[in-house]
Amino acid sequence: MKTKTYFISILYFYLLTVTAFAANADGYIVKIAKSKDFKMLNSASHKQIADGICVVRDENELNNIKSQYDIEYIEPNYEVTLFAAPDDPFVQNQWNLQMIGAEKAWELGCYGNNIKIGVIDSGLYEHDDIRDNKLNGYNYLNDSTDVTDNMGHGTAVSGIIAAQWNDIGIAGIAHRAQIVPLKCFDDNIKTYVDTIILAINDAMNKYDCDIVNMSFGMPSNSAALESVINEGILKGVIFIASVGNDGNSQTYYPAGYGNVIGVGSVNKNSIVSDFSQRNNSVFVTAPGEMIISLGNNNSYIIADGTSFSALTVTGAIAALKNIDNNINTETVKSILSQTSTDLGETGYDIEYGYGLIDIGRIISKMLENHNIFVSPIDYYNGVSTVLVYNNSGSDISATGIFTAKAEDIIVGIQNQANTIKSKAVQSFSFNFNGKTTFYLWDSISNLQPLYYKIH
């Protein structure tokens, strides 16, 4: 076990009230009507930020564009405010993971393996507890790849998802997921919607993110922001957003969009947090008070806010995509509405949404039509491991076969015959230092295996 000295500092991140409307906008967002001859050349006065959408900061240039193209809409470039069973030693303090039943996903080997998550926030510090799960991202404030987190918010929220299982610190819900830090905020918790649109556009088109987390909001409804999110929805990207920390009925966007999963906060007693918004943007709730996570300078912090509720749901969905990587927003919303623990008024309400997420119930729902579930291959320290869950009503005799190839030649093979008890998990492992494929056969004489997974 690594020996390190860490400290826990008390740090509270809140979504501050957004008071900026058009008066605090930075230029205009212009949507050009679809045109074959549309070519937007970036300049100091305007910049294309998505397909047919540009930001214009000069009045003369705006008039010039209006004279050349058919305009679908023009809106202010609104100001956006940042909402602000492993052996890891602090895991016993992670009551939030216990409340939602995170161990139910871990028991099936669902750790968010190979799921890419775009975190649009203040960047990500090179923390020892998440370093290996951090991918290269982008800094939209200075057009560089330096995503150093000067504020600490992005590091804290990322830790909820993907802090590693490495005998230090905390455990992330999806500790094999990969974080793509998309830095849109710095020391200042303010940015503008054109910056957010650029990050979303890259998350889905450049970085191929499966999920995008958004811990920020604004009271103004931006057609441009909604359109780029809807484009991502069509590509299968799932968007999660915190609903805000004012504790009133104000709706913040993007959580207010129908295609975004808005998340509110509850405390240890499953009571809605005083600061959590109460409106129709709340789809579900998750723990958001006294949450332990990562801080800058290899520290650990305790924080409050719907930012942390949203990241809890993001991490949970990353793990659940290991059961079915094809789940999309519509599927996720349907499953969450059916499986969340109803709190507050019976049925949907504006404080708890459909209720507190429950990973165990979600998994049961997702496996209803699966007699056999095979986890992703988890490779660690030269050993490939896969878990097989028998969800049928009877025992199954099956053979698990690992193969390893180098230049299309099989260089290693190992088979294990087992009887997998009903409603039980069977582990198969292969000591091989490289990429492997796992096959599960009920009968070797069959031409096709029951399942196969490639690492």
pLDDT of residue 237: 98
Q: What is the pLDDT of residue 20?
A: 32
Percent helix, strand and coil across the chain, each to the nearest 5: 20, 30, 50
Strand order in the sheet with 8-10: 8-10, 299-303, 291-295
Strands 261-266 and 238-242, sheet pairing: parallel
Please give the pLDDT value at position 85. Answer: 41
d(Cα 358, Cα 375) in Å, to the nearest integer?
20
User: Which residues partner with 453 through β-bridges?
Assistant: 438
Give one DSSP letter per residue of 317-384, joined into a string.
HHHHTTT-TT--HHHHHHHHHHHSBP-SSSS-BTTTBT-B--HHHHHHHHTTT-SEEEPPPEEETTEE
Q: Please tell me the predicted confidence (pLDDT) of residue 2.
A: 37
The whole-model pTM stands at: 0.88
Q: What is the pLDDT of residue 41?
A: 60
End-to-end CA distance of the chain: 27
Task: Measure Cα distances from 69 to 37, 41, 76 in Å.
Answer: 9, 14, 19
The two three-digit tokens of residue 169, written as one number? 């610190």
Rounded-to-integer distance, Cα 152 and Cα 154, Å = 6
* Pairing, β 211-214 against β 116-121: parallel
Give the per-residue pLDDT at 88: 44
- Residue 312 in contact with residue 162, Cβ under 8 Å? no
Q: What are the residue ranges in the chain where pLDDT is below 70?
A: 1-23, 35-44, 84-92, 406-412, 433, 443-455
Dihedral sign, Cα of residue 183, residue 189, residue 194, residue 200? positive
Residue 296, CA atoms < 13 Å, CB-side half-sphere: 12
3-state secondary structure of 128: coil
With the C-alpha atoms ordered 338, 341, 347, 349, is the resulting torsion angle positive or negative?
negative
Closest CA to 452 of 378, 386, 364, 367: 386
- CB atoms inside a 10 Å sphere around CB 334: 12
Measured CA angle at 192 (ends 187, 198), to 5 deg: 105
Q: Residues 204, 208, 211, CA angle at the centre, nearest 5°? A: 70
Closest C-alpha to 264, from 333, 329, 352, 377: 352
